[in-house]
């Protein structure tokens, strides 16, 4: 199976002090060991960069550009980077209109649009509630993976 790895899993998987650090790392390692394909889209890496380089006072990690780039490179080595295509925007527009999505949730809708376009039905995320409105997607919490 192919999974899309949500940005929150990427972020928690690099912060040893995060209470969900071990869950994030264990879930990714387990899925890889079970020969599942783990993927990301450019949006995941862009969101990661934004949070990683943002000051801690603004809910960021305050990582340096060099450290953040190293993490991005590591993700690209570990996960399949699914390409952005024009069809993703069309699917996103359909989803936000159909499900009346607004505000910050539009970013989650874009993840789902990319999943639909690329035929990915599994999403690895700590924020399952953010994706309940979408049908045909299996949301998997890293804490549920043993």
Q: What is the CATH number of the domain that holds 23?
A: 3.40.50.1010
Residue 70: per-residue pLDDT = 98
DSSP-derived pairing of the beta strands 138-140 and 37-41: unpaired
Residue 106: per-residue pLDDT = 96
Domain assignment of residue 78, yes or no? yes
Residues of the chain with pLDDT under 70: none
Domain assignment of residue 100, yes or no? no
In 3D space, the residue among 82, 49, 85 whose CA is nearest the CA of residue 67 turns out to be 49
Residue 146: per-residue pLDDT = 73
Model-wide pTM > 0.85: yes
Domain assignment of residue 111, yes or no? no
Q: What angle do CA 146, 51, 111 make, to 5 degrees?
A: 60
Domain assignment of residue 92, yes or no? no
In 3D space, the residue among 87, 86, 109 whose CA is nearest the CA of residue 96 turns out to be 109
SS3 state at 40:
strand
Domain assignment of residue 108, yes or no? no
């Amino acid at each position: 199976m192919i999974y899309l790895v949500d940005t929150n899993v990427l972020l928690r998987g690099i912060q040893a002090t995060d209470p969900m650090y071990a869950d994030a790392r264990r879930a990714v390692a387990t899925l890889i060991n079970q020969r599942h394909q783990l993927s990301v889209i450019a949006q995941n890496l862009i969101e990661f960069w934004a949070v990683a380089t943002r000051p801690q006072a603004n809910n960021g990690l305050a990582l340096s550009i060099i450290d953040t780039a190293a993490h991005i490179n590591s993700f690209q080595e570990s996960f399949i980077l699914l390409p952005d295509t024009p069809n993703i925007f069309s699917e996103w527009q359909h989803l936000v209109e159909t499900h009346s999505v607004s505000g910050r949730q539009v970013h989650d809708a874009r993840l789902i649009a990319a999943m639909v376009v690329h035929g990915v039905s599994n999403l690895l995320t700590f924020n399952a509630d953010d994706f309940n409105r979408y049908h045909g997607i299996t949301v998997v919490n890293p804490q549920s993976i043993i």
